[in-house]
Structure 1
Amino acid sequence: MPVADDVVDDVETLSDAFDTDGLDGWTWATAGLVLAIAIAVAIVVRWSLGAVLVRRLERSLAIFLSRTASYVVVLIGVVYALDQLRVRVGPLIGALGIAGIALAFALKDILENFVAGILLQIQRPFTYGHEIEINDQVGRVQDVNARFVTMLTPSGETVMVPSAVVIKSELSNMTVAGRRRTDLEIGVAYGSDLRVSRSVLERAARSVDGVLGDPGAEVLLTGFGDSSIDFVVRYWHGPSIAEFWRVRSDVAFAVESALDEAGITIPFPQRTLWFPDRSPASTDAGENPEEQPEIKPEIKPEIKPEIKPEIKPAE
């Protein structure tokens, strides 16, 4: 069979590549020393090159280049170590054959994440310190490597999202624009002066520390609800998640206080029930009370208990 023949050929090629006959302990020690030196040099290259590049390039790109350089140094060390052991790298790579294909399928997810990590480093849709949202996961980017994107959530949890998932998912970067807009919905009672209400809401929102002046806050009437006339307060603020919650809370406090001082009511859901004027006897809709038959009470005869005379025996 062709597949079996290929496997036999690969095994023979591997046996030829690993010609380790006659190797002594010094040769093994030399190979190990070469590999150890390569790893040490890779660590030095990674940190020193990263420190230099981060001053001149964007941080994520600098870290990516320094990591790539360290991987190249380790790879060179592995090749030299194999050469010390008389392992011929060329035939070794060619001997992978079907085994290499099987290994590639087994490591498909790892390779997919690795390639996705490289694409993220090249495209750079976000960088360290940006606050992003991926698949309902929101957090600050802590690390981007060849396999994962590590985020720190507002609740202090560390979330590691595979790079392949990041590439395939919808991504929201809340930091890159430098500002965010938030909408706060609020209703006023029917009968309120709408223009005065809008003016009060605008002044309250613009007075809050953290609300940007350009573009300024605006108030729009959105509709007439069941219990209130609805407005939306739109304002801009800093991009961080902490700033979002702080400013939103302060705007809500300011709006409530301003409306209370202006005598404008924020209604709660309520419903008015209206009953038409009709006699109690009219119970069905559309009936005329005058046509209702007179209802007379039913009089039942009083039933008295039968009293039997007491009969005493004669003395």
Structure 2
Amino acid sequence: MPFTQIVDITQIDELVDISTVSPWDPLFAILSIVAGVIIGSVCRVLIRRYGKRSRLAPNLIDLFGTITLWTIVSISVIIALSLVGFNLAPIWLAILMLGVVGVVSGRVLLENFGAGVTLQARTPFVPGDQIATGDVVGHVREVNSRVVVIDTVDGKQVLVPNAMVLRNPITNFTKHECRMSRLGVSVIYRTDLAFATSVIEAALRSADGVLDDPTPIVQVESFDDSGIMIAARFWHLPEILDERAATHAAAVSIAETLTAEGIEFAFPQLTMWWGSQPDQNPPENPA
């Protein structure tokens, strides 16, 4: 079978038209590719150099540099093909189809990649910070192009997709040097409130993990059914375990000090009264 019957020469002629190609065009095509490689390499080096001054992760900087390099090289190859007579319409159509397939199939990857860039550009947290996002609480180990790697306070490692982190509220516990916590103390109604608040404040100052500066704040907060609620607010180091330790020490110190001073805690009480006589008055509230 003749070769011309296997390969349709007319189809090749439609794809490549060498009638308009000059003797210098192949040389220009080679120079175009070489220039594309050089320019792309220089751009990648510049992106890596100046990217170190930004807050982006090194892997994202390398990814940007690589994408830039191959984009410029691809453009230079397309220019070279046009110089040697190739019809670019089928090439652009193929590139468009590949782009559509890539976007559809990699939508989740692209979404996480974009969210990762946003997180690192806005920097609501950095590696080493202790954060809460969704149901995950722990230290940020790494932020890459797909996930945020978090070491939880109970020794687990959780990979949270960047897009999920960006959609949920983010609490950064270690953004500042200290945080405030609240502990409610309910006392009975006949308590001397001025004395009780001073005793609670002294108990807070003696508790381990409670900072002296800023000073603790003790205030009457509400009158409840069973007693008077006093809010004890105190400052401690920012991490979760520091909060738990300081709250425990504060609660123990307050309980021991109030007991030693004879101040009674309030607790829910229910007084039942049967009016056996119509003119009998109900008993007074013992609280």
Query: After TM superposition, is the score higher than 0.5?
Result: yes
Matched residue, 1:291: none
Q: 1:61 aligns with which of 56, 64, 71?
A: 56
Q: Structure 1 stretches of 5 or more lacking a match?
A: 1-11, 18-44, 279-285, 289-315
> For 1:248, what is the secondary structure of its paired residue?
helix
Mean alpha-carbon deviation: is it higher for 205-214 or for 244-253? Answer: 205-214
Q: TM-score, normalised by structure 1?
A: 0.63
Matched residue, 1:260: 259
Matched residue, 1:184: 183
Using the alignment, how far apart are the partners of 2:119 and 2:233 within structure 1?
34
TM-aligned CA distance change 1:246 to 1:75, over 3 Å: farther
Summarize deviations over 1:142-172 as a string: whole Å, max 9, x none: 1100010111111111111111111222111
Contact 1:224 1:230 in 2 (8 A): yes
Contact 2:178 2:237 in 1 (8 A): yes
TM-aligned CA distance change 1:98 to 1:204, over 3 Å: same
TM-aligned CA distance change 1:287 to 1:223, over 3 Å: closer
Mapping of residues 97-112 of structure 1, within 5 Å: 97-112=96-111
Greater radius of gyration (CA): 1
Contact 1:185 1:232 in 2 (8 A): yes
Using the alignment, how far apart are the partners of 2:92 and 2:202 within structure 1?
72
TM-aligned CA distance change 1:92 to 1:179, over 3 Å: farther
Corresponding letter in the other structure for 1:251: A
> For 1:275, what is the secondary structure of its paired residue?
coil
Q: TM-score, normalised by structure 2?
A: 0.68
Mean alpha-carbon deviation: is it higher for 265-274 or for 113-122? Answer: 265-274
Corresponding letter in the other structure for 2:133: I
Mapping of residues 1-315 of structure 1, within 5 Å: 61=56, 63-64=58-59, 67-68=62-63, 71=66, 95-278=94-277
TM-aligned CA distance change 1:99 to 1:73, over 3 Å: closer
Corresponding letter in the other structure for 1:163: N
Contact 1:227 1:271 in 2 (8 A): no
Contact 2:60 2:144 in 1 (8 A): no
Using the alignment, how far apart are the partners of 2:247 and 2:65 within structure 1?
46
Contact 2:184 2:231 in 1 (8 A): yes
What RMSD over aligned residues (CA atoms) do the two structures have, in Å?
3.5
TM-aligned CA distance change 1:232 to 1:68, over 3 Å: same
TM-aligned CA distance change 1:93 to 1:168, over 3 Å: farther
Corresponding letter in the other structure for 1:137: V
Deviation at 1:268, TM superposition (A): 2.3
TM-aligned CA distance change 1:251 to 1:157, over 3 Å: same
Using the alignment, how far apart are the partners of 1:106 and 1:223 within structure 2?
57
Contact 1:221 1:231 in 2 (8 A): yes
Matched residue, 1:36: none
> For 2:102, what is the secondary structure of its paired residue?
helix
TM-aligned CA distance change 1:261 to 1:93, over 3 Å: farther
Matched residue, 1:296: none
Deviation at 1:98, TM superposition (A): 2.7
Deviation at 1:61, TM superposition (A): 3.3
Deviation at 1:267, TM superposition (A): 2.7
Contact 1:130 1:141 in 2 (8 A): yes
> For 1:208, what is the secondary structure of its paired residue?
coil
Deviation at 1:173, TM superposition (A): 0.9
Summarize deviations over 1:22-70 as a string: whole Å, max 9, x none: xxxxxxxxxxxxxxxxxxxxxxx9xxx89xx98xx68x53535654477
Corresponding letter in the other structure for 1:268: F
> For 2:56, what is the secondary structure of its paired residue?
helix
> For 1:113, what is the secondary structure of its paired residue?
helix
Using the alignment, how far apart are the partners of 1:75 and 1:159 within structure 2?
33
